[in-house]
Structure 1
């Protein structure tokens, strides 16, 4: 089954928006270029870990998969899949289509 980018993008945005609300984080605008790591990220390291766990659960439930976003494949990439929302979406689509 070919996983469509739009499906993953919707899941990522929904999960992130819920995470922001549940944790009272301040972020005016969320778009594909929203940084997830680095100095300009609105997430601290624990927020990132918690968001990733929630996202993995949602994606795995939705697609009956065993996606692990923090596996060796993700960590060994030249460009981190956690750079921004678009890189994360692209990585998830690629990973699910490789399963």
Structure 2
């Protein structure tokens, strides 16, 4: 069974808050599906996104007891990155939910 979008977006938001605290970046205010993660509207660089992914994988495993690998060929070979926004990443997490 796949997690629900609101659950995943909540975990992504928690990871973003933690990352921004760890990197001493300004708070984002309210995080929504349109909140940018990677790209021109985001202040995160690629290394920060790697840290976000690692943290999120851990949170997902803790919450759902499954092992996600988010930075794999499926993510990197897409025309539109699943790391552009919170909603895009949430959709990708749900789409790639491990079956076991």
TM-score, with length taken from structure 1: 0.87
State the distance in 1 between where 2:18 and 2:78 align.
28
Task: Kindly report the root-mean-square deviation, in angstroms, between the aligned alpha carbons of the 2 structures.
Answer: 1.5
Task: Structure 2: give runs of 5+ residues left out of the alignment.
Answer: none
Name the structure 2 match of 1:15: 15
Q: Please state which structure has a larger fraction of its residues in helix.
A: 1
| Shift in alpha-carbon separation, 1:5–1:45, aligned structure 2, 3 A | same
* Residue-by-residue CA offset, 1:18-48 (whole Å, 9 max, x unaligned): 2212221124433221211122211011111
The residue correspondences of 1:70-85 to structure 2 (distance < 5 A) are 70-85=71-86
- The count of aligned residue pairs is 98
Question: Which portions of structure 1, spanning 4 or more consecutive aligned residues, are displaced by more than 2 angstroms?
Answer: 27-31
